[in-house]
Amino acid sequence: MASKYKNNSLAIIIPMYNEEEVASKCVDKVLQAIERYSNILLIVVNDGSSDATPTILKNKKIQYGKRLIVLNNKRNLGYGGALQKGIQDAIKKNYEYYLTMDSDLTNPPKYILDFVKIMPKGYDCVKASRYTKGGGVINVPYFRRIISILGNSLASVCFNVGIKDCTNGFKMVRLSFLKGIHFKERNFSIILEEMYYLKKKNAKFYEIPNVLSARKNSRSHFKYRPKIFYDYFKYLVKSVFV
């Protein structure tokens, strides 16, 4: 790894699109969870929000100063586009790892510290897993559980990197593996596109338990549509031949 990277430094990247109900609480909870770590930075990407999210983030930036970076897209580029903007900023700032999580706090910020403990062990991608011992889901609709279980069972076989929860977006990745990669996906399928490139570069994978809960006070931007299933499935097929 290039010496310019800060050892065990971490940039947390959270895309936000029209999240006025949860934006303030999300920033507060994440920064509270990492308050004793000077080598961890929070980057929030406002993805062209049309509600009060930009104003809330502007005020949070005033409140937290250097601990919080706010990036703004003039128009909505989708989860994948927003995530890539954050990744590129973290690379420019020479951070060693990035971690991404949803803004709705369905993944409690306390789990961030589980990733921090793993950093010195040298893994290149650490995934939070609902399907390993100690993991699970709370209040998630039954049909979504079934789709997720079946999809991840297939993805686990196709990728064959020892990960049972491939589609979980709560994960940490070594940024040096992503330099020079221009992601094509603008929706949530960027999660599997990234796994494909990591496998192609012989990344070392690891999994930690995670309990996912359903949203309570806001709406999910994830939609079960034919295109999203196709976008996911094509990376399963591609990964078999890497």
For residue 33, is it within any domain? yes
Residue 233, domain member (yes or no)? yes
Single-letter amino acid code for the residue at 21: E
pTM of the predicted protein model: 0.92
Query: Is residue 210 a contact partner of residue 111, using CB atoms and an 8 Å limit?
Result: yes
Domain assignment of residue 145, yes or no: yes
| Integer CA distances (angstroms), 18 to 21, 46, 83, 221, in order | 8, 8, 15, 10
Residue 4, domain member (yes or no): no
Angle at 11 between CA 6 and CA 15, to 5 degrees: 160
With respect to residue 126, please indicate whether it lies within any of the assigned structural domains: yes
- The CATH number linked to 60 is 3.90.550.10
Counting the structural domains of the chain, the total is 1
Pairing of strands 171-174, 125-129: antiparallel
Asked if residues 83 and 190 have their Cβ atoms less than 8 Å apart, the reply is yes
Position 152 in a domain: yes
Token pair listed for 30: 């994440």
First-to-last alpha carbon distance for the chain, in angstroms, is 23
Q: What is the pLDDT of residue 226?
A: 76
Domain for residue 230, yes or no? yes
b/e for 42-77, b at 16 or more Cβ within 10 A?
bbbbbbbbeeebbebbeebbeeeeebbbbbebeebb
3-state secondary structure at position 192: helix
Radius of gyration of the chain (CA): 17
- Model confidence pLDDT, tens digit, residues 181-234: 999 999 999 999 999 999 999 999 999 999 998 766 545 555 557 788 899 999
Which among 185, 233, 176, 177 has a CA at the least distance from the CA of 82?
185
Structure tokens at 51: 């509600």
* pLDDT (0 to 100) of residue 239: 97
Tell me whether residue 2 is in a domain: no
Are the C-beta atoms of residues 161 and 126 closer than 8 Å to each other?
A: no
**Sites in the chain below the pLDDT cut of 70:** 1-6, 215-224
| Residue 24 identity (one-letter amino acid) | S
Domain that holds residue 198: 10-240
